[in-house]
Homo-oligomer: A and B are copies of this chain.
Amino acid sequence: MKTAAALKGERMEFGEVAARRRSVRRFKPDPVDRETVIKLLECATSAPSAGNAQPWRFLVIGDGAMRQQLARAAFNQNWMAQAPLIIVVLADLDRAASSYGRRGMELYALQDTAAATQNLLLAAADAGLGACWVGAFSEADVSKLLGLPERFRPVAMVPLGMPAGNPAAKPRRLPLDEVVFFTD
């Protein structure tokens, strides 16, 4: 996962950061220090949001028993619990709805938290850390485990740590001319 550039402390061009980001699912047990987590979450929260509502919250879970329970709530993706941290991304539905009603809850809150999550993943890759966007989980189970008030919807979980072993290959993308269309 650590690129030659990251190892040397050099700066990567953004395109390189985006291209090298992987979904990392194997982690070393080494802890991630809080200063680094805060730097990553500063990047996350620099994402844009509709009307600057910032309808995002981040729960940083270090406790091992809770990480195991979250992994179970993600349909037994037990690899998640290996990561020293799991960051649970929440959408604040009340905040989104108060400005934009149903479109705020059902679209903007999901997009804004997704943009922040993507920033988090990119910042992790840039720092030589491994992370993975987990979307498949029981929202009810995660909410119950974490005792979330109803206004907070868990929308993503991001296990985070030092990558172990060789990174899996980045899954192949569709050819650009199958997804991009120029109109003139």
Contacts and interface: CB of A to CB of B under 8 A. Distances in A.
A117 interface: yes
Contacts of A82: none
B135 A57 contact: no
Contact of A15 (B57, B112, B123): B123
Given A14-B17, A135-B107, A155-B107, A62 B182 contact: yes
Q: How many protomers of this protein does the assembly include?
A: 2
Interface string A146-184: 000000000110000000000000111110100111111
Interface string A38-56: 1101110111101010101
Given A62-B183, A63-B183, A136-B50, A111 B108 contact: no
A180 B38 contact: yes
A140 interface: no
A126 to B, nearest CB: 4
A77 interface: no
A18 B46 contact: yes
A182 B182 CA distance: 46
Interface in A1-48: 11-15, 17-19, 21, 23, 34, 37-39, 41-43, 45-48
A57 to B, nearest CB: 5
A180 to B, nearest CB: 5
Nearest to A47: B118
A173 B46 contact: yes
A183 B111 contact: no
B54 A174 contact: yes
20 contacts: A14-B123, A15-B123, A18-B43, A37-B182, A38-B176, A41-B179, A42-B176, A45-B173, A45-B179, A46-B173, A52-B172, A58-B181, A62-B183, A63-B183, A110-B111, A111-B133, A111-B156, A114-B118, A115-B118, A122-B122
